[in-house]
Structure 1
Amino acid sequence: MEDQQIIELYWARSEQAIRESETKYGAFCLSIARNILAQEQDAEECVNDTWLRAWNAMPPQRPGILSAFFGKLTRNLSLDRWRYNRAAKRGGPQVETALEELGECIPAPGRPEDRLEERETAALISRFLREQPQLDRVLFLRRYWYLDSVAALAERFSMNENTVKSRLHRTRLRLKEVLLREGVAV
């Protein structure tokens, strides 16, 4: 079923929307959740919560890219669950490691005026990524958005793990330079 048809089902409040979403995007969302969460049950619950969030968001929202909409919902729900598990001393090191790596070149929020700065920083990062070689851009997104492990990236792109680490490190350094040059405190 086409994405627009699925969106129309949500707007019509048809429960078929959830079934069609699960059929078309269930595996995609589950892979995102699994990359973040150590427990299969937690990952499955986050995917199920994704459909509930989508149900509550449409209407009024009408996503332009349904896969990105579901992916973002799943990622945010999974990160919330990961934080909860971590606070309860049940989390795994994979997500923490990726977030620590990225934390070296991204400013941390904290002040009310950070909202505007966050949008400007997001625009800078997007522009930066568009200017990177495709492989570096994909590695960066797979590592820091989808939270793929270095080992998974190495296997996916037929590379040595050290090569992946090195490319990610150099990309983070370039990003940090761009952000500092643009006046973003890192």
Structure 2
Amino acid sequence: MEDHEIVTLYWGRDPRALLESQRQYGGYCYRIAWNVLENQEDSDECVNDTWLRAWNAMPPQRPSRLSLFLGRITRNLALDRWREKRAERRGGGRVSLALEELSECVTKGDSTSEQVEAHQLTEAIGHFLETLPREDRQLFLGRYWYCRTIGELGIVFSLKENAVKTRLFRIRGKLREFLEKEGITV
């Protein structure tokens, strides 16, 4: 079934939308959740919560790329769950390492002005990613969106771990320079 057909099912409040979403994107969403949480039960729960969030979001939203829409929901749910767990035990892991690496380029804010700045930052990062060669963009997204480990990225891109680390370091440097040119303080 095509994405637009599944979205139409959501808009028509047809429960088959949930089944089709699970069938087509269950594995994709599970992988996103797993990369953040590294826990089967929590990952399964995030995926199930994704379908509920999608159900509640459509209508009014009508995503043109359902995979990205569902992936974003899953990632946000997984990060929320990760923060809850981290607050409980203050542990490390792949997500904290990825976020720590990016912290030198971006900051988190909670006030209204900081939220506006965060929106501007999101747009700027999107523009920055468009300037990167395809493989660098995929490395960046693999590490900081999908929270893949350095080892996993090395396997996917046929690179040694040190090469992955070096390229990510250089990409973060380019990001920092790009953001400074855009007038975004880091």
Whether TM exceeds 0.5 here: the answer is yes
Contact 2:139 2:153 in 1 (8 A): yes
- 2:35 corresponds in structure 1 to 35
1:93 aligns with 2:87: no
> Where does the alignment leave 5 or more consecutive residues of structure 2 unmatched?
none
1:125 aligns with 2:116: no
By how many angstroms is 1:121 displaced? 1.8
By how many angstroms is 1:120 displaced? 2.0
- 1:179 corresponds in structure 2 to 179
- 1:19 corresponds in structure 2 to 19
Aligned residues: 186
- In the TM superposition, what are the counterparts of 1:82-161 in structure 2 within 5 Å? 82-89=82-89, 91-161=91-161
TM-score (norm 1): 0.96
- 1:73 corresponds in structure 2 to 73
Contact 2:50 2:73 in 1 (8 A): yes
Contact 1:107 1:185 in 2 (8 A): no
Contact 2:53 2:73 in 1 (8 A): yes
Residue identity (%): 51
* Distance of 1:31 and 1:90 partners within structure 2: 23
> Where does the alignment leave 5 or more consecutive residues of structure 1 unmatched?
none
* Distance of 1:165 and 1:42 partners within structure 2: 29
- 2:58 corresponds in structure 1 to 58
Q: Look up the equivalent residue of 2:49 and give its one-letter code.
A: D
Contact 2:108 2:118 in 1 (8 A): no
* Distance of 1:15 and 1:123 partners within structure 2: 34
Seen in structure 2, the aligned counterparts of structure 1 residues 90 and 26 have a Cα distance that, compared at 3 Å, is: farther
By how many angstroms is 1:180 displaced? 1.5
Equivalent position SS for 1:24: helix
By how many angstroms is 1:134 displaced? 1.1
Contact 1:82 1:91 in 2 (8 A): no
Equivalent position SS for 1:148: coil
By how many angstroms is 1:126 displaced? 1.2
Q: Look up the equivalent residue of 2:151 and give its one-letter code.
A: A
By how many angstroms is 1:109 displaced? 1.6
Over residues 92-140 of structure 1, what are the superposed CA-to-partner deviations in whole Å (9 max), with x where a residue is unaligned?
Answer: 4110000000111113324321233222222221111111111111100
* Distance of 2:32 and 2:80 partners within structure 1: 13
Contact 2:33 2:47 in 1 (8 A): yes
* Distance of 1:110 and 1:14 partners within structure 2: 37
